[in-house]
């Protein structure tokens, strides 16, 4: 039986993402917004309205809300959003969490900043999915708005993940996965063992898929839907990507007029 990966991992996701410094990521996103965004502020009290696509447990969304954004987080996993609600309540910030499919965006008005972080766009692996997201985002972007995302590099999928076997072992969770790379899509066959008492374990089996998206492909899709590719940057860097980067960042922008 194959279960949804993110519903399975929701309770453990923040531990699995402990290599992500949410404060550092939020500071970087905030810096890019200040450099590239010219939107006037569509949120409450004139704040910039930020919509985080595929927000997961919302750790970075919460940090961005701390920095003064009027924030929305959208994710397909209800379990992830439950954790996100807990995280925003604990932080004492107001974030509007929405259960929804980012390939079929339904928003009430214009957005000043879209984000899609920690490989969200790579998980759009089926033909046409990423174009649906870029097209929908463009239709909601205010004049001067930006779309900021990170994307896994080709070497990340070809070499780091490749056709390798991985495991992660924690106190109450063990993950085993076999990865395969076909030149376009990375497939992970994952087995998860969870325990609450250290003696009895629940097993779940699932698959995850990620597609590599080149900067050239992103540029073409952006221009097709009225956006410009303003920057292609290395991981949390002000400079272009290098062969050492596991992900690169893009900034798409909608013209002011």
Q: Taking residues 212-237, what's their average pLDDT?
A: 97
Residues 143 and 67 in one domain: yes
Domain that holds residue 136: 5-153+212-254
Assess contact for 128 and 136: CB atoms under 8 A: no
Gap between the Cα atoms of 251 and 206, Å rounded: 32
Residues 12 and 105 in one domain: yes
Tokens representing 114? 């879209």
Gap between the Cα atoms of 222 and 253, Å rounded: 9
Read off the pLDDT of residues 29-81 as tens digits, 9 standing for 90 and up: 999 999 999 999 999 999 999 999 999 889 999 999 999 999 999 998 888 89
Q: Say if strands 201-211 and 185-195 run parallel, antiparallel, or are unpaired.
A: antiparallel
206, pLDDT greater than 70: yes
Residues 185 and 135 in one domain: no
Residues 202 and 218 in one domain: no
Q: What is the CATH number of the domain that holds 173?
A: 2.20.25.110
Q: From the CA atom positions of the chain, what is the Rg in Å?
A: 18
Assess contact for 48 and 70: CB atoms under 8 A: yes
Residues 68 and 162 in one domain: no
Q: Where are the alpha helices (H) located in the chain, listed in sequence order?
A: 5-9, 13-16, 22-36, 59-66, 78-91, 129-140, 154-155, 215-224
Residues 110 and 164 in one domain: no
Q: Say if strands 49-53 and 111-116 run parallel, antiparallel, or are unpaired.
A: parallel
pLDDT value at position 239?
Answer: 97
Gap between the Cα atoms of 69 and 42, Å rounded: 10
- Helices 22-36, 59-66: crossing angle, 10 deg rounding: 60
Assess contact for 201 and 170: CB atoms under 8 A: no
Assess contact for 64 and 48: CB atoms under 8 A: no
Residues 102 and 226 in one domain: yes
Residues 18 and 123 in one domain: yes
Residues 95 and 176 in one domain: no
pLDDT above 70: percentage of residues in the chain: 93
- Count how many domains the chain has: 2
Instruction: Identify the top-confidence range among 4-8, 39-43, 170-174.
Output: 39-43
User: For all residues of the chain together, what is the average pLDDT?
Assistant: 91
Q: How confident is the model at residue 1 (pLDDT cuts 50, 70, 90)?
A: very low
pLDDT value at position 195?
Answer: 79
pTM, 2 dp: 0.92
Gap between the Cα atoms of 38 and 45, Å rounded: 17
pLDDT value at position 3?
Answer: 42
Q: What are residue 202's DSSP bridge partners? A: 194
Residues 194 and 95 in one domain: no
Residues 60 and 132 in one domain: yes
Assess contact for 114 and 51: CB atoms under 8 A: yes
Q: What is the CATH number of the domain that holds 216?
A: 3.40.50.150
């Amino acid at each position: 039986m194959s279960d949804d990966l993110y519903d399975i991992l929701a309770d453990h996701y923040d531990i699995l993402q402990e290599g992500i410094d949410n404060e550092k990521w939020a500071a970087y996103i905030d810096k890019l917004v200040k450099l590239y965004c010219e939107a006037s502020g569509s949120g409450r009290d004139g704040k910039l309205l930020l919509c985080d696509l595929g927000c997961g447990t919302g750790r970075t969304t919460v940090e961005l809300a701390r920095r003064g954004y009027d924030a929305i987080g959208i994710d397909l996993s209800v379990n992830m959003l439950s954790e996100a609600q807990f995280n925003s309540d604990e932080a004492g910030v107001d974030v509007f969490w929405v259960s929804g499919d980012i390939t079929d965006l339904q928003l009430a008005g214009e957005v000043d900043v879209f984000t899609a972080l920690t490989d969200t766009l790579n998980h759009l692996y089926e033909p046409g999915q990423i174009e649906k997201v870029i097209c929908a985002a463009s239709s909601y972007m205010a004049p001067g708005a930006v779309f900021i995302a990170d994307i896994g590099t080709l070497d990340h999928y070809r070499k780091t993940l490749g056709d390798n076997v991985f495991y992660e072992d924690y106190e109450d969770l063990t993950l085993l996965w076999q990865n395969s790379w076909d030149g376009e899509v990375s497939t992970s066959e994952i087995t998860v063992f969870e325990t609450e008492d250290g003696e009895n374990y629940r097993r779940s089996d699932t698959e995850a898929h990620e597609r590599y998206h080149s900067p050239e492909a992103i540029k073409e899709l952006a221009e097709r839907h009225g956006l410009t590719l303003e920057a292609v940057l290395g991981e949390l860097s002000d400079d272009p990507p290098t062969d050492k980067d596991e992900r690169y960042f893009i900034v798409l922008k909608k013209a002011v007029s």
